[in-house]
Structures are given as C-alpha cells and as structure tokens.
C-alpha cells in the first residue's frame, strides 16, 4: 500500500511538473530559433517547426551570457526532447530541473526531437543517417551560437549511439540508404560524453525480434545470433567472457572498432542492473552492453528501469560534467539510488514493445 501511495504521489508531482515544465522549457527560445532560421534548411529548425512546444529546448535571452559548458541532450528511440504525455515519451523534462538547480540556464541546455515519438513504432524504427548528421550539425551549431570552445553531451539509449557516431565521424552504412559520410571526427569539440542505458554491443531482446528495423544486423542493435565457439547459451545468460567472435550489428561494430577511440575528452557510462529493455546487468553474450569501449569510468545502478535512468543519473552527470570524474562518495560496486519519492523500492517489470 505504501508503495502504491508513493508511486501515486510521484506521478502527481511529476505530471504536474511536466505540464508546467513543458511550457517553461520548450521550444527553442526565440533568439535561438531565429538564429537557426537564418542558417537556412537545417535539421534543428525542422525539429523546432515539426514537434511544437515539447519538441525542443534551449537558447539565450538577448544579451545573456553563456557561463557553463553547454550540454546537449539526445533522447532515445520513440522518445521526445520533453514530455508529451504519451507512453514512454517523457523526454528530459524530469532531468532538466536538476541542471537548473545546479546553476545552469537554457543558454547552456539544448535538446531536440527526432523520430515518431510513438513507442508502438519503436521496434520497427531504423537508425537513420539523417538523424546522426542532423545531431552532428546541431552540435556544431550550438558551439557556434554559444561561442563555447566545447560542449558536453548526454545520450540515452539510442541517443547514446547517435552521439558516439557523430563524435567519431567516418563512413557508415544503413539499409536502403546510400553511403553515409559523417565527415571528420569532432570528438575534440566534446569535453565530456555520458551514455545512459546504451546498447553498444546490441541488445538480447533483438534475438526474439529478428527482422525488426531496430534489430537490423546492418544498422540496428542486433547482438549476434549465437555465443560462438560451440558454446550453447541464451544471449542474456552467457557468463562474462564466455562468448567469442559474436557477429553483432555492423553499425555498432564500426563505432566500437573506429580508429577514433574516444568520443570526448572524458567518457562515462551509466546503467542499471534492472534495466527492463537491456536485461539483467545489461548482459549481452557475456558482456555488459552499456559499457562504452575505452571509457574512463562507469556507474552501476539497481532498482531502476531503462527509462528511469535518465532522471536518476542526473546529479551524477552534472558532477561528471563539472569535475571530469564520477562522484567520489559512491560505492565502486552498485549504486542503489531509486527515485526519491519511490524510496528505492521500484522493481522493474519485463519490457515488451507495445503493438
């Protein structure tokens, strides 16, 4: 009963904050939207025009100074920049207040929307060259607009993959598209990158959904079909180091094996052992799929699902952005946080793509 009441209180507070927050937070401020419009046809301005008040945020007031390193937020598959009120499209609305409390302003916080914002279409969603190029352009525009020497980036789920790709650049291929030339690396323009609940080696859920766009072996999150080496295991049950030569998605391998090793000066990953999309401990054929190759450090959580990780890791992200390291008081093992109003007692339920 206590959990039900706490959850109800949490929803009431968050939904109230979302309705108010969306009005206050989005869309892009007039100064920034006018600046983008002056750049001609571009991905960010199209996002601003297409998705309305919940589709973007960020920008200065006239003559406002940029004090902190700008942060660019990249949401995941079927999500949104800000809460739309739809299932699993909460965006960054609950995360932003933590940054505002830490002294950030919207002159230093930027996000836009891509994709359908419809969770029922998520399984069929294919990664797109346009999305990666568009976000890369957005990063460069924020640098230009703010006159900041570097930006910080936080990406959730598919957004972490987009961020990694745009930072490293190079040629990639997607089904049904011509060669996607992302250009030269821009990792030298990114101070800190944080990947939250990313699937950098694919996700086991895709083994049960072959043929779905998000699981495509070329451009999707395909983890590989077997453990390799004659070992017979299920994807999520293979022990660490047990599998060999997994043929996971081509796009993911191109990022992981890029000659550009790091996405930024400092790279961190945050993930939950109770992620209801990536599975227990995010294990995928014997390795944690949320750990980024060549990262500086990572932070592990429990009792948080795939979507709660955005808000729950906000304060740790702020610390990492400002100190180039993770919070020193955390245990080096698991971080039992939970959202405050739920008091750490949330139990993630298995996730099934809605139809």
Judged against a pLDDT cut of 60, whether residue 322 lies above it is answered with yes
In a domain, 150, yes or no: yes
CA pair distance 352, 119, nearest whole angstrom: 10
CB-hemisphere CA count at 13 Å for 173?
Answer: 7
| 64 belongs to a structural domain | yes
How far is residue 27 from each of residues 53, 58, 65, 305, measured CA to CA in Å?
Answer: 4, 7, 20, 28
Domain assignment of residue 306, yes or no: yes
The residue length of the chain stands at 355
Residue 337's pLDDT is: 42
Q: Is position 201 within any domain?
A: yes
What CATH number does residue 101 fall under? Answer: 3.40.50.1820
Residue 312 lies in a domain: yes
What is the pLDDT, as a whole number, of residue 329?
52
CA-based radius of gyration for the chain: 19
Q: How confident is the model at residue 179 (pLDDT cuts 50, 70, 90)?
A: confident
Omega into 89 within 30° of 0, i.e. cis? no
Mean pLDDT of 133-158: 98
169-176: average pLDDT:
87
> Contact, 81 vs 91, CB < 8 A?
yes
Q: What integer pLDDT is reported at residue 286 of this predicted model? A: 92
Both tokens of 171, joined, read 């040629």
- Domain limits for position 67: 2-342
Residue 43 lies in a domain: yes
Predicted confidence (pLDDT) per residue in 243-263, tens digit? 887 889 999 999 999 999 999
> Could you tell me if residue 182 is inside a domain?
yes
Nearest to 347 by CA among 285, 289, 272: 272
pLDDT of the residue at 228: 79
With 50 as the cut, is the pLDDT of residue 339 above it? no
For residue 318, the model assigns a pLDDT of: 96
Encode 294-341 in three state secondary structure.
Answer: CCCEEEEEECCCCCCHHHHCHHHHHHHHHHCCCCCCCCCCEEECCCHH
- The pLDDT value given to residue 70: 99
Reported as a pLDDT band with limits 50, 70 and 90, residue 192 is very high
pLDDT at position 18 over 70: no
* Residue 297 in domain: yes
C-beta separation of 256 from 136 below 8 A: no
pLDDT score of 214 more than 70: yes
Q: Which of 122-126, 161-165, 281-285 reaches the highest mean pLDDT?
A: 161-165
Number of structural domains, the chain?
1
Q: Report CA-CA distances (Å) from 80 to 26, 172, 248, 276, 346.
A: 12, 25, 27, 19, 24
Residue 287 is given by DSSP the state E
- pLDDT class for 41, splitting at 50, 70, 90? confident
Q: Give the residue, 163 or 302, on which the prediction is more confident.
A: 163
Higher confidence at residue 146 or residue 333? Answer: 146
The predicted pLDDT at position 97 comes to: 96
Average pLDDT over every residue of 189-208: 97
Q: Which of 130-134, 238-242, 277-281 has the lowest mean pLDDT?
A: 238-242
Q: Dump strand ranges (E) for 52-113.
A: 56-57, 71-74, 109-112
**pTM of the full structure:** 0.88
Number of Cβ within a 10 Å radius of residue 310 = 27
């Amino acid at each position: 009963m206590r959990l039900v009441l706490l959850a109800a209180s949490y929803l009431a507070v968050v939904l109230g904050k979302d309705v108010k927050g969306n009005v206050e937070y989005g869309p892009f401020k007039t100064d920034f939207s006018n600046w983008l419009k002056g750049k001609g046809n571009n991905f960010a301005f199209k996002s601003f025009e297409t998705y309305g008040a919940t589709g973007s945020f960020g920008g200065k007031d006239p003559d406002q100074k940029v004090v902190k390193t700008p942060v660019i937020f990249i949401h995941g598959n079927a999500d949104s920049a800000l809460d739309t009120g739809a299932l699993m499209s909460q965006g960054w609305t609950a995360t932003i207040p933590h940054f505002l409390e830490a002294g950030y302003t919207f002159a230093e916080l930027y996000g836009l929307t891509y994709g359908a914002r419809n969770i029922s279409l998520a399984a069929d969603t294919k990664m797109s060259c346009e999305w990666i190029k568009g976000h890369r352009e957005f990063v460069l525009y924020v640098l230009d607009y703010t006159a900041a020497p570097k930006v910080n980036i936080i990406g959730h789920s598919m957004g972490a993959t987009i961020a990694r790709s745009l930072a490293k650049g190079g040629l990639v291929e997607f089904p049904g598209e011509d060669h996607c030339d992302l250009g030269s690396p821009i990792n030298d323009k990114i101070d800190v990158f944080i990947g939250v609940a990313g699937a950098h080696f694919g996700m086991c859920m895709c083994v049960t959904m072959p043929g779905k766009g998000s699981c495509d072996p070329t451009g999707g999150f395909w983890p590989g079909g077997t453990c390799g080496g004659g070992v017979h295991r299920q994807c999520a049950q293979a022990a660490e180091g047990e599998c060999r030569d997994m043929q996971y998605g081509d796009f993911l391998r191109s990022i992981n094996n890029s000659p550009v090793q790091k996405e930024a000066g400092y790279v961190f990953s945050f993930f939950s052992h109770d992620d209801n999309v990536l599975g227990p401990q995010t294990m995928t054929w014997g390795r944690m799929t949320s750990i980024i190759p060549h990262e500086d450090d990572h932070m592990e959580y429990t009792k948080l699902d795939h979507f709660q990780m955005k808000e729950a890791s906000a304060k740790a992200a702020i610390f990492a952005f400002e100190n180039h390291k993770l919070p020193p008081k955390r245990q080096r093992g698991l971080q039992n946080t939970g959202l405050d109003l739920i008091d750490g007692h949330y139990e993630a339920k298995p996730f099934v793509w809605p139809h």
